[in-house]
Chain A
Amino acid sequence: MEFKKHILDNGLAVVGEVNSFAKSAAIGFFVKTGSRDEIKQISGVSHFLEHMLFKGTDKLGPLEVNEAFDRLGAHYNAFTSEENTVFYAAVLPEHLADAAQLWTHLMRPALRDDDFNMEKNVIKEEIAMYEDTPSYDVIDKARSLYFDSHPCGNTVLGTRQSIDALTAKQMHDYFTARYSPNNMTVALAGNFDWDKTLRLIAEHCGLWRQQTVTRQTKDYPGSLKSERLQKASLKREHICIISPAVPMQDKRRFAASILAAVIGDNVGSRYFWALVDKALAETATMQCESMDRTGAFFSYIRCGSESSQKVLDAVKAIFDDLDTNGITASELSAAKNKILSALVLKNEIPMGRLVSLGFNWVYLNEYRSTEQDIDDVKAVGIDDVNSLIKHFRPGRFTQFILGPGSDTSIQS
């Protein structure tokens, strides 16, 4: 593995990890923008813009874009979160240069009115699809409740109303402000020619104009609110609880991911033994999401209405015990081993490396090899995890329940 880096004069960062033994190569454009960078009037614009980049440039229509990617046999797509919009393609090594060139063109889109209006329907279909996916919907609603008025609570998809009201001009302005080269990172991983690809990127992106880009990055401890939304069409209770965790910039994120695995890995965790093994809940998981200068532990639990109170009592007991006694040495060791295996598996494929490489640069301005991550996971001690519990008090959480029941007396 060989790490490469170059920053163009306009601020565009290009980072690469070359692995000449890989059978494929991957490229990603990481734009540091998402729903937390939106104001209410343009809610959903980051995600809508992600769709619009596939609609082409002044020289390339939407169908031609799709054809060009498919001709390369590319596995390509994009995703938008609260704070990033990422466009990627994984291809066989001989097609990397063409895939890279195509993305450089698409990063300066035409944003045509006809395409904009047609795509509104697709976005509204996506909103409808997630409404029919309560496991997603409850997390989205809980996130808004937790972050309250903090921008990290902004919904990624927007609402039907905000999408209907959005104008092409608003999107243009947002694009100009946020897709500035100094707010973007190009990451490359796998088997590719660094010099050739860098030249190509410099040639196509070197003249993009720089803007001043800012983001509100205040941390937020969570609202601690508790809400329930009754939806009679649902059969199960979908519970999401959120509590504060460490940001991406904090080294303790490795200890935090271990704590999340001890509490809520899908097997062998505290949740597993207290909820799933006893069949109180069919699913109970926890993840640590480290974000830009903030972070949160997210738990998702699904159970029958008759069990919700018991589930919340059991969750409370878990957190009380952790608060008093902390985690055990064997829990630490099992969680580490599981995280290390997952890390090895993910990083064996260029697409997996791409994601780590890109985000490490976006958040930390730093290259981290898989080995460094492995070492940092191994170095976490029991006190590191237990002091996180004391500091963040995961038992003090914000809670949202979506389900058929109407019993608002259910308390954590």
Chain B
Amino acid sequence: MTDKHVLKNGMVILGEPMESVQSVAFGFMLPAGASRLPDGCCGAANIIEDWIFRGAAELDNRTLNDTLDSLGLNRSSSVNTSHLGIGGALVADNLAAALELYAKITIQPRLDDEQFEPAKQLALDHLAGLDDEPRHKVMLKLKENFYPQPLGRSTAGEPDQLKALNAEKTRRLTKQYFNLSQTIFVVAGRYDFDAICKQMEELFDTGPQEKLKEIELSGKGTKYTHIHNDGAQVHIGLCTPTVRPGDDEYYNARIAVSVLSGGMSSRLFTEVREKRGLCYAIGANYHGLKEAAGIICYAGTVPQSAQQTLDVIIEEFEKLKDGISDEEIVRAKVGLESALIMSSESSTSRAAHIASDYFLLGRVRSLDEIKEKIEQTGTESVLKFLRQKTFDDYTVVTIGPKKVTVK
């Protein structure tokens, strides 16, 4: 059962208690993700993600970080399409002290001029480093081309736009997009919910803020993009549209993806790796945003096998509607259910789950509800779904020494 409380300023507090753990994980989802920020500032969230930790309220850079460290906090922060997320996991006793610091970071970040340049330089360096991580880069480029703008915006930033940002503008963006009325706070593990709500009400006594403008969707990128590099492999990313997380057919879609690429007995692993030895890394995942969703596939292979790999992948996507055995459906269901229960043992995964559910669906699904919905699917329902929503629209990106032909 999920605990819920809404602060006076509108911030939603969600909690999931876990009796068997000593730890607690928490996170603030601030509405400053890549797609929310105005045009021309792609990468600002990456600067902000670093800059806000360089001093807050009366604490300078060094003091703030030393205090965070003294709590034994395993920190995490990330920029995704919709949010800038900050938080971490720690031993439960230190939660209250950590929240006090995070309130300072979100409400009163210092954002000093002299700390702006290193924050910006790091964002630029991480971006440059992507060229040395083609597996990661191909996925970013794929999302950019697959999703309508601004959903596809790179969560690592764009070099020219990053370079053009200055402290004043980035400070303004931080103020505007750290909208606490639209922030979701999650906590999972060992905690006292009443005490948290009381503390959060005091810490975030900030008054309601005006709602941010909704994003407007526009055009998509090209269907096939190749980026040349002289690496050892061709890194192939492929994406095809599917139903969104709130859709009635969502669970049928998840089972279909699992048949395609759940465990090692799934179609892609069997056909691409086991039978043909074309790849080491091959897999597909469901990727859902609030406004759109896709099935995203990655494969890495030597140049001479790239075309065959892509052809086999597409053939497997398209063959799925022709028939799935009951045994495959059973395996897909067991796999999803078991992953669900096992991930619920970790406070960090639980916190991530409730945050994403609340944002995408407006509520948190219980494990029982998800299990029941998975149970309700069957060979017939999955095939019916696949025949209504046939795979025929692919966005492909390759990085490597050789291009492929997308038919």
Q: Which residues of A are at the interface with B, using a C-beta cutoff of 8 A?
A: 21-24, 54, 62-63, 66-67, 69-75, 90-92, 95, 118-126, 128-129, 131-135, 232-236, 238, 267-268, 272-273, 276-279, 281-283, 302-304, 330, 333-334, 336-342, 344-345, 348-351
Contact = CB atoms under 8 A, between A and B. Distances in A.
7 contacts: A67-B331, A129-B135, A330-B66, A334-B70, A345-B348, A348-B345, A348-B346
B232 A132 contact: yes
A279 B118 contact: yes
Given A21-B20, A341-B91, A92 B135 contact: no
B231 A62 contact: no
Interface string B39-64: 00000000000000010000001100
Contacts of A304: 125, 128
Contacts of B121: 279
A69, A133, A268, A345 — most chain B CB neighbours (10 Å): A345
Contact of A349 (B75, B131, B278, B345): B345
Interface in B321-348: 327, 330-331, 334-335, 337-339, 341-342, 344-348
Nearest to A130: B232
Interface stretch (B267-275, B283-291, B381-389): B267-275
Interface string B176-212: 0000000000000000000000000000000000000
A135 B131 CA distance: 12
A143 to B, nearest CB: 19
Given A282-B129, A341-B90, A23 B341 contact: yes
A123, A129, A282 — most chain B CB neighbours (10 Å): A129
A38 B274 CA distance: 26
Contact of B345 (A54, A67, A95, A350): A350
Contacts of A233: 229-231
Given A23-B344, A75-B342, A125 B302 contact: yes
Interface in B60-84: 61-62, 65-66, 68-75
Given A70-B265, A125-B279, A133-B135, A268 B66 contact: yes
Given A90-B342, A337-B69, A348 B21 contact: yes
Given A303-B125, A333-B70, A132 B135 contact: yes
Nearest to A266: B75
A126 B90 CA distance: 36
A22 B135 CA distance: 35
B89 A345 contact: yes
Contacts of B126: 282
Contacts of B117: 279
Given A123-B280, A234-B132, A330-B66, 15 more contacts: A70-B331, A91-B338, A121-B278, A125-B280, A128-B302, A133-B133, A234-B131, A267-B69, A268-B68, A268-B69, A277-B61, A282-B125, A339-B72, A340-B91, A345-B346
Contact of B274 (A62, A333, A351): A62
A120 B273 CA distance: 11
Interface string B373-386: 00000000000000
B300 A22 contact: no
A344 B330 CA distance: 35
Given A132-B235, A334-B66, A122 B280 contact: yes
A339 B70 CA distance: 11
Contacts of B131: 234-236
B96 interface: no
The 10 closest A-B pairs by CB, nearest first: A73-B338, A337-B72, A121-B277, A70-B263, A66-B265, A279-B121, A279-B118, A73-B334, A128-B232, A282-B125
A134 B347 CA distance: 32
B157 to A, nearest CB: 13
Nearest to A350: B345
Given A66-B270, A67-B265, A125-B300, A132 B125 contact: no
A131 B232 contact: yes
B65, B117, B280, B347 — most chain A CB neighbours (10 Å): B280
Interface in B211-235: 229-233, 235
B361 interface: no
A334 B263 contact: no
Contacts of B331: 67, 70-71
A272 B65 CA distance: 11
Contacts of B65: 267-268, 272
B280 A131 contact: no
B152 interface: no
A123, A267, A281 — most chain B CB neighbours (10 Å): A267
Contact of B89 (A71, A273, A302, A341): A341
Contacts of A267: 65, 68-69, 75
Contacts of A128: 232-233, 280, 300-302
A197 to B, nearest CB: 18
A371 to B, nearest CB: 11
Contact of B338 (A92, A281, A282): A92
B87 interface: no
B16 to A, nearest CB: 14
A134 B133 CA distance: 8
Contacts of B347: 345, 348
B231 A131 contact: yes
A344 B90 CA distance: 8
Nearest to A134: B132
Contacts of A278: 118
Contacts of B262: 70
Contact of B70 (A66, A337, A349, A350): A337
Nearest to A115: B274
A232 B68 CA distance: 40
Nearest to B230: A233
A268 B69 CA distance: 7
Given A267-B69, A344-B23, A23 B335 contact: no
A49 B233 CA distance: 24
A21, A122, A238 — most chain B CB neighbours (10 Å): A122
A277 B301 CA distance: 37
A232 B230 CA distance: 9
A120 B302 CA distance: 13
B66 A70 contact: no
Contact of A75 (B68, B266, B339): B339
A169 to B, nearest CB: 21
B264 interface: yes
Contacts of A348: 20-23, 345-347
B273 A74 contact: no
A133 B281 CA distance: 13
Given A71-B331, A133-B133, A23 B345 contact: yes
B237 interface: no
B150 interface: no
A337 B71 contact: yes
B134 interface: yes
B122 interface: yes
